[in-house]
Amino acid sequence: MPERLLLARHGQTTWNLERRLQGQLDSPLTAEGIEQARALAERLADVGVVSVCSSPLGRAWQTAIIIADRIGADLIEVPELAEVDHGELAGMTWEEIDEAYPTAREERAANRYGWAFPGGESYAQARARARKALSSCGWASTGVPLLVSHEMIGRMLRAELRGLDATNALALRHPHGVVFEIDRTSERML
């Protein structure tokens, strides 16, 4: 596991605007999302990143390509960086979920960390995957790696690296266009 890393979220997508759960399905980057990726690349141009580890999902992969091309870094696909699997709820808005799965929101609220999306996974399961992703990126990269991932798995990556409990992990947020520099004791936005 790397001692220090940079973490970026993919650029804005069509489904982000529609407030649809993406999970491991995909929707394309918007024009704004492409600009966010370009801005991240410019911000990272002089920080010495030589390896970019990315989720294989299209929105993250496209963001990672834009960044890696600009900074001249190696691009490494890490399947464990894929977003939390939303299973049967992927592609739906919460209004659609409330109609099709009327108890889902209440069940999730009762145990948000341990609750698994129907046909998908829980945050607890995703955290184990995040641990593997950190190990893979540590072995595959030289220097300080940049990881390009997603909102929900990003929470688990940050929690795992910093040793946060479930409550603090779930409280984390990662807006588009933000890069976090993270080590075992702290994190800061670049």
Q: What is the pLDDT of residues 27-78, one digit of tens each?
A: 999 999 999 999 999 999 999 899 999 999 999 999 999 999 999 999 999 9
More confident call, 54 vs 139: 54
pTM, full prediction: 0.94
Q: Residue 78: count other Cβ atoms within 10 Å of its Cβ.
A: 24
Instruction: Please give the pLDDT value at position 166.
Output: 96
In angstroms and rounded to an integer, the radius of gyration of the C-alpha atoms of the chain is: 16
Q: Residue 28 half-sphere exposure, CB side, CA atoms within 13 Å?
A: 2
Q: Give the Cα separation of 105 and 100 in Å (integer).
A: 11
* Tokens (6 digits) for 77: 């696909």
CATH at 150: 3.40.50.1240
Q: Which of 83, 86, 150, 174 is catalytic?
A: 83
Q: Is residue 42 annotated as part of the catalytic site, yes or no?
A: no
For a pLDDT cut of 70, what percent of the chain falls above it? 97
Domain that includes residue 176, residue range? 4-189
Instruction: Please give the pLDDT value at position 28.
Output: 97
Q: What is the pLDDT of residues 82-119, one digit of tens each?
A: 999 999 999 999 999 999 999 999 999 999 999 999 99
- Whether the pLDDT of residue 152 is over 90: the answer is yes
Instruction: Please give the pLDDT value at position 21.
Output: 97
- The 3-class secondary structure across 48-88, one letter per residue, is CCCEEEECCCHHHHHHHHHHHHHHCCEEEECHHHCCCCCHH
Q: Is residue 88 annotated as part of the catalytic site, yes or no?
A: no
CA-closest candidate to residue 135, choices 80, 84, 77: 80
More confident call, 2 vs 33: 33
Q: Give the Cα separation of 130 and 8 in Å (integer).
A: 14
Instruction: Please give the pLDDT value at position 74.
Output: 95
Are 133 and 54 spatial neighbours (Cβ–Cβ below 8 Å)?
A: no
* Tokens (6 digits) for 6: 């940079």
For a pLDDT cut of 90, what percent of the chain falls above it? 87
Q: Residue 176: count other Cβ atoms within 10 Å of its Cβ.
A: 21
Q: Give the Cα separation of 54 and 108 in Å (integer).
A: 28
- Per-residue CA distances from 151 to 16, 71, 72, 84, 144 (Å): 11, 23, 25, 9, 21
Instruction: Please give the pLDDT value at position 142.
Output: 72
Tell me the β-bridge partners of 188: 181
Instruction: Please give the pLDDT value at position 183.
Output: 81
Instruction: Please give the pLDDT value at position 1.
Output: 64
Are 140 and 51 spatial neighbours (Cβ–Cβ below 8 Å)?
A: yes
Per the structure, the count of domains in the chain is: 1
